[in-house]
């Protein structure tokens, strides 16, 4: 043989040998990662997720296994909620670890399990009220007793082995003690087989916070006995548990002016920002508002995002499309995918109807079964959306472990909105809903006057919403426009409750007073007119104004409905009615929907109103810069305007009482306040960051309640035994000044320079 041929032969043999070594190495099982028995279970440890047909009574959710040093650690997850007892029955684990060996026919196993394919077995018996009992067949007895992991309720145990873990084969059987259950069996499994896909889960919540009054804020933030289970409950606990468990949440309607101001008062904005930055929190823009105000609510959320230093939202939560968002939430009851497509829009399904009667939401078997089905779906973009109303969910209980429970399930993947936005959407099916949130239809109810008369058709609830929305959109941009939009959203708030719609119908026409004030503020001018029925209540109102001041009076009770001061481009309301910030502040059992603006006993339907005073009809008369309102009983209110001040004089033949709802700077409660001194003759307060007012009085007794009076309590848990001040039930940002006088009272209202504290008395 020639030397060259011999060399070629040697080279070919070497190449073949190298190829053979490579092939043999590829056939050898890869070396497995070894875990410690105390390590958290990981998604890569999951070996099987139960396909569980919808009609089958399954009890097993998933099976996991991983290699330890000298042992295999195993875990079975059951379809049981947190801290619930495990079902009764037997788990039988079959193991193939010794080639050529097999289970003896005399093994203490059901006949079906005596097989040439398996070498050994482990039997775990679960009985009610007893610890799990583990018995080994044809293998060494484990030194570690089985344990139940909480809060997941998973059963964990170990199997000692000297065999290569990569060569082991398993099969798990579950024999339930329940008569109507079938045997549940895994596929033959190994530690090196591909891991199954996790069950995708997205958590979305609304009704996140009610910050309209201090009482409502404290109850929805950290309320005593406020949860569906009668426990301490609120958004505070949901956020804390999400941070502790590292579970991402989406809060759909938190970014409203009232909510963010309240959270700023609580010192929680940095916490929200930190959760956003860590990827654990998505704050959508928008709220559950009337479709007519959807565009306004979304734009407002965007402005608030910037002013509070929060991250721009990727998602919107509103009844109609508006703005540039990567996705919007929608009620899509038949959707299985986590992202749908409608035209050019991406829709993320909501877990429930936003306006359905709230029910107690917690981890239950149906939710777990949906997750199991989702994990086995051939479509990788299928998933489950859970959550709902924070006010109704037990996940916001102080002692809830539900979020920790989900975080402990290695077969569940809790997604963030960012995760979902990377999914491929599928076409949305036709929807019977009128809008994205399936908003309840507004009924064409006709409101009542303060005397119980049914008002004209033009003031009917449903039709009036459209008319008012059109007028709001054309208003000049000033402080009154924002106030009018806020009042509109309160009185037109969608609801499926007939009683609440009837109540809101009474307050919606009052919005005309703010519309008139916003138009006047665009070009302040003098007017003396008592011939217009501004708010469609069947009674003419009096408009009294000059280039600085606008006053609107209701002749029934001589009630001051609006007081606005104009100083160039600065427009500042002085008086604001509680219904501008919250409609239905009192217990629904106390509503009298046949009494117009008096339907809610906590409403102050105008300055100079007092619930103990009769509502007489006053007769107006003008002279120069003075308006005089006179009642048949001899009561009289005289109002004099000048550029510098407004002077009010009340006369009567006996002792009387009156009340003034005063507008405070929205940030007032975060500022240091001086105690109110009833004996002082003047009071000054900040109505905004740039404008303050001073009110002086003649001889009288007065007392002041403000929505800031209980601010010190808001950082503490709600205490049902604590006697809260009256201001605890006033809407933010209002004060109520009560005055008791005899026969004569003189009040002078004039603008002053804003100061560091929100309140001064002299």
pLDDT digits (tens, 9 = 90+) for 339-387: 999 988 999 999 999 998 776 678 899 999 999 999 999 999 999 999 9
CATH of 43-185, one of 1.10.3470, 2.60.40, 1.20.950, 2.40.10: 2.60.40
Is the model's pLDDT at 422 over the cut of 50?
yes
Question: Which CATH fold would you assign to the domain 210-427?
Answer: 7-stranded beta/alpha barrel (3.20.110)
Mean pLDDT along residues 395-406: 95
What pTM does this model have? 0.92
Give the count of beta carbons closer than 10 Å to the beta carbon of residue 276. 16
* Fold category of 523-761 in CATH: Beta-galactosidase; Chain A, domain 5 (2.70.98)
Strand pairing class (412-415; 426-427) = unpaired
pLDDT at 428: 84
Contacts of 429 (CB under 8 A, 6+ apart): 332, 334, 335
**pLDDT at position 106, please?**
61
**409 burial level (CB within 10 Å; 0-12, 13-18, 19+):** buried
Please give the residue that has the higher pLDDT: either 299 or 128: 299
What are the extents of the domains in the chain?
Answer: 1-30, 43-185, 210-427, 523-761
Residue 704 pLDDT: 95
pLDDT for 20:
47
pLDDT the model gives residue 27: 45
Instruction: Return the pLDDT at 25.
Output: 43
Per residue in 744-759, pLDDT (tens digit) is: 999 999 999 888 877 7
CB 691 within 8 A of CB 570: yes
Cα end-to-end span (Å), the chain: 122
Q: For residue 120, how many C-alpha atoms fall within 13 Å in the half-sphere facing its CB? A: 17
Determine the average pLDDT of the residues in 209-230: 95
Average pLDDT value for the chain: 91
pLDDT-above-70 percentage for the chain: 93
721 vs 754, which has greater pLDDT?
A: 721
Q: What is the pLDDT of residue 110?
A: 67
- SS3 sequence, 206-236? ECCCCCCCHHHHHHHHHECCCCCCCCCECHH
pLDDT tens digits for 517-550? 999 999 999 999 999 999 988 899 999 999 999 9
Q: What is the pLDDT of residues 572-631, one digit of tens each?
A: 999 999 999 999 999 999 999 999 999 999 999 999 999 988 899 999 999 989 999 999
Burial-class residue 173 by CB neighbours within 10 Å (0-12, 13-18, 19+). buried
Q: What is the pLDDT of residue 105?
A: 66
For residues 586 and 336, the model is more confident at 586
Q: Please determine, for residue 19, whether its predicted confidence score (pLDDT) is greater than 70.
A: no
Q: Which of 208, 427, 437 is nearest to 321 (CA)?
A: 437
The pLDDT value recorded for residue 492 is: 97
> Can you tell me the distance from the alpha carbon of 459 to that of 400, in angstroms, rounded to the nearest whole number?
47
Instruction: Answer yes or no: is pLDDT of 113 > 70.
Output: no
**pLDDT reported for residue 760:** 74
Q: Is the pLDDT of residue 571 over 60?
A: yes
């Amino acid at each position: 043989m020639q030397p060259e041929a011999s060399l070629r032969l040697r080279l070919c043999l070497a190449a073949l040998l190298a190829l053979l070594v490579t092939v043999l190495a590829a056939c050898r099982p890869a070396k497995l990662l070894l875990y410690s028995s105390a390590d958290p279970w990981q998604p890569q440890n999951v070996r099987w997720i139960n396909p569980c047909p919808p009609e089958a009574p399954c009890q097993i959710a998933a099976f996991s296994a991983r290699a330890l040093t000298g042992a295999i650690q195993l875990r079975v997850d059951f379809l049981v909620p947190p801290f619930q007892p495990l079902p009764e029955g037997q788990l039988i684990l079959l193991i193939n670890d010794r080639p050529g060996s097999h289970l003896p026919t005399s093994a203490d196993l059901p006949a079906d399990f005596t097989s040439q394919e398996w070498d050994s077995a482990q039997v775990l018996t679960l009985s009610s009220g007893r610890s799990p009992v583990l018995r080994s067949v044809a293998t060494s007895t484990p030194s570690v007793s089985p344990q139940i992991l909480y809060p997941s309720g998973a059963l964990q145990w170990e199997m000692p082995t000297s065999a290569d873990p990569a060569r082991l084969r398993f099969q798990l059987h579950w024999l339930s003690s329940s008569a109507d259950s079938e045997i549940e069996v895994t596929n033959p499994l190994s530690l090196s087989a591909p891991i199954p896909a996790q069950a995708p889960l997205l958590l979305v919540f609304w009704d996140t916070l009610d910050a309209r009054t201090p009482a409502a804020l404290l109850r929805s933030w950290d309320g005593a006995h406020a949860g569906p289970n009668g426990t301490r409950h609120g958004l505070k606990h949901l956020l804390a548990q999400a941070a502790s468990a590292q579970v991402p949440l989406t809060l759909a309607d938190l970014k409203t002016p009232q909510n963010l101001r309240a959270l700023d008062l609580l010192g929680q904005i940095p916490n929200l920002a930190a959760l956003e930055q860590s990827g654990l929190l998505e704050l959508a823009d928008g709220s559950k508002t009337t479709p007519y105000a959807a565009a306004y609510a979304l734009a407002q959320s965007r402005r608030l995002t910037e002013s509070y230093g929060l991250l721009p939202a990727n998602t919107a939560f509103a009844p109609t499309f508006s703005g540039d968002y990567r996705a919007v939430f929608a009620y899509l009851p038949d959707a299985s995918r986590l992202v749908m497509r409608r035209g050019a829009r991406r829709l993320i399904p909501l877990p429930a109807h936003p306006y359905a009667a709230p029910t107690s939401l917690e981890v239950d078997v149906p939710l777990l079964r949906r997750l199991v089905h989702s994990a086995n779906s051939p479509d990788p973009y299928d998933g489950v959306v859970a959550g709902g109303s924070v006010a109704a969910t037990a996940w916001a209980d102080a002692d809830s472990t539900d979020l920790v429970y989900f975080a402990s399930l290695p077969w569940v993947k809790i997604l963030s909105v960012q995760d979902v936005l990377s999914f491929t959407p599928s076409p949305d099916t036709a929807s019977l809903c009128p809008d994205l949130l399936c908003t309840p239809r507004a009924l064409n109810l006709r409101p009542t006057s303060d005397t119980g008369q049914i008002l004209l058709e033009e003031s009917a609830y449903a039709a009036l919403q459209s008319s008012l929305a059109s007028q709001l959109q054309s208003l000049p941009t000033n402080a009154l426009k924002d106030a009018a939009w806020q009042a509109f959203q309160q009185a037109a708030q969608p609801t499926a409750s007939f009683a609440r719609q009837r109540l809101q119908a009474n307050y919606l026409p009052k919005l005309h007073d703010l519309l008139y004030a916003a138009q006047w503020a665009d070009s302040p001018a003098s007017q003396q007119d008592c011939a217009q029925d501004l708010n469609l209540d069947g009674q003419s109102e009096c408009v009294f104004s000059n280039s600085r001041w606008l006053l609107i009076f209701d002749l029934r009770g001589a009630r001051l409905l609006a007081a606005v001061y104009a100083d160039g481009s600065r427009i500042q309301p002085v008086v604001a009615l509680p219904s501008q910030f919250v409609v239905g502040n009192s217990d629904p059992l106390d509503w009298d929907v046949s009494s117009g603006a008096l339907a809610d006993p906590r409403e102050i339907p105008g300055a100079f109103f007092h619930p103990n005073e009769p509502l007489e009809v006053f007769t107006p008369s003008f002279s120069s810069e003075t308006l005089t309102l006179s009642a048949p009983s001899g009561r009289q209110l005289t109002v004099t305007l000048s550029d510098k001040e407004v002077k009010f004089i009340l006369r009567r033949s006996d002792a009387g009482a009156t009340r003034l709802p005063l507008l405070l700077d929205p940030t007032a409660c975060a500022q240091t306040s001086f105690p109110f001194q009833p004996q002082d003759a003047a009071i000054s307060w900040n109505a905004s960051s740039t404008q303050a007012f001073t009110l002086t009085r003649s001889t009288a007794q007065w007392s002041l309640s403000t929505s800031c009076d209980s601010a010190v309590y808001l950082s503490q848990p709600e205490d049902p035994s604590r006697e809260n001040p009256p201001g605890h039930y006033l809407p933010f940002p209002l004060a109520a000044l009560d005055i008791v006088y005899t026969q004569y009272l003189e009040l002078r209202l004039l603008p002053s320079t804003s100061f560091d504290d929100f309140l001064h008395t002299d």
